[in-house]
Amino acid sequence: MLTGEEIARACVIDARVTRPKKPQVLAAKLPGKKISGVTRRGKYLRLELVGGSMMVIHLRMTGVLTYVEKGAGQSNWPHLSLILEFTGGDSLVFQDQRRFGTAALLTAPEAASLFGRLGPEPLTRSFGAVQLARLVRNRKRPVKSLLLDQGVIAGIGNIYADEALFRARIHPLRDAGSLNEAEVKRLSGAIKSTLRDAIKLEGSSISNYRSARGRRGRFQETFRVHRRQGEPCPGCGGSVEKTRVGGRGTYFCPVCQKMTPG
DNA sequence: CGTTAGCCCTGCTGGC
DNA sequence: TGCCAGCAGGGCTAAC
């Protein structure tokens, strides 16, 4: 249980994890801090600390956080980036194969500034067709790059954008502003159902992702188009195609996901 | 307002 | 079998 733990020591194993800030700051400032809560905003994991500051962790693609209980025994941890040791003897281990992940200690105003730049949370009750319609209105850019823009909607990654657009039967290159009312409604529902299903299956373990309890996710077993280039579309049996949108690999069914409104 | 390119990084894949 | 180029992607900056 992270909430209530007091940090005894912060060991930065790989200095790249704190970029662009200096790694010494964590080791100097974290000891003695108590965790008052654990929350998520977009793709950021937040350890809220008593006093208002915040430890903000972003796993990117290959980061893995593991909660290790006291007396769990020795374990070999490849790609170690950071270890937080708690006064009770438990610890939190951050591994990251590709070293893209980050951990930062932010003051309350710094955190407010970072999270204030993020768009709304798609899984909240207030997010729906009405709010999505406002976000796409007059936006002349591919709907997929809009979905990936964290300042527009928070938390949608490449996998989930592809899968949500397929579920909504919308071509990833459609101009966001060209979506009609029915399409906006389908897309808002598809975003929610895709994210909910992924959470239920504990995420997508394409390579090394593991939950905090060390388990692999299973959402990748249910991908309908993502990374399925050349395979049959589950909707029509046609061939799934691949293209690039905003520099990201993009998978879709050209039959089910039309460029024309409908 | 918007785009693309490049950077960061390492492990896997495919071609020869 | 072994080598090497290319790919994967989230967030950021720079250039346009």
Q: Are A129 and A50 a contacting pair, CB within 8 Å?
A: no
Tell me whether residue A15 is exposed, middle or buried, using C-beta atoms within 10 angstroms of its C-beta: 0 to 12, 13 to 18, 19 or more.
Answer: exposed
pLDDT at A206: 75
**Cβ A100 to strand B below 7 Å:** yes
3-class DSSP state of A116: helix
**Cβ A207 to strand B below 7 Å:** yes
- Give pLDDT tens digits for A104-132: 999 999 999 999 999 999 999 999 999 99
How does residue A75 score in pLDDT terms, banded at 50, 70 and 90? confident
AA identity, residue A222 = T
- Give pLDDT tens digits for A205-215: 777 777 777 78
**Cβ A97 to strand B below 7 Å:** yes
Tell me whether residue A121 is exposed, middle or buried, using C-beta atoms within 10 angstroms of its C-beta: 0 to 12, 13 to 18, 19 or more.
Answer: middle
Residue A175 DSSP one-character state:
B
pLDDT at A193: 96
- CB < 7 A to strand B: residues 8-47, chain A: 16
Give the bases of strand C that a protein CB approaches within 7 Å. Answer: 7-12
Write the Ramachandran bin of A120: left for phi over 0, alpha for psi from -120 to 50, otherwise beta: beta
Does residue A21 surpass a pLDDT of 90?
no
Tell me whether residue A22 is exposed, middle or buried, using C-beta atoms within 10 angstroms of its C-beta: 0 to 12, 13 to 18, 19 or more.
Answer: exposed
Which positions ≥6 away from A13 have C-beta within 8 Å? A80, A81, A82, A83
- Give pLDDT tens digits for A150-193: 999 999 999 999 999 999 999 999 999 999 999 999 999 999 99
pLDDT at A124: 95
CA of A248 to C1' of B6 (A): 14
How does residue A51 score in pLDDT terms, banded at 50, 70 and 90? very high
In chain A, % of residues over pLDDT 90: 76
**For residue A6, what are its two tokens?**
């007091």
Q: Pick the closest to residue A168 from A199, A200, A209, A136 (CA basis).
A: A136
**Residue A63 β-bridge partners:** A96
pTM (predicted TM-score): 0.95
Question: What average pLDDT does this structure show over A13-41?
Answer: 93
CA of A95 to C1' of C4 (A): 28
**Cβ A172 to strand B below 7 Å:** no
pLDDT at A238: 92
Listed by range, residues with Cβ under 7 angstroms from strand C are A 42-43, 58, 60-62, 98, 100, 114, 148, 150, 157-159, 242, 247-249
Does residue A43 surpass a pLDDT of 80?
yes
How does residue A82 score in pLDDT terms, banded at 50, 70 and 90? very high
**For residue A262, what are its two tokens?**
């409908």
Give the bases of strand B that a protein CB approaches within 7 Å. Answer: 1-6, 8-12
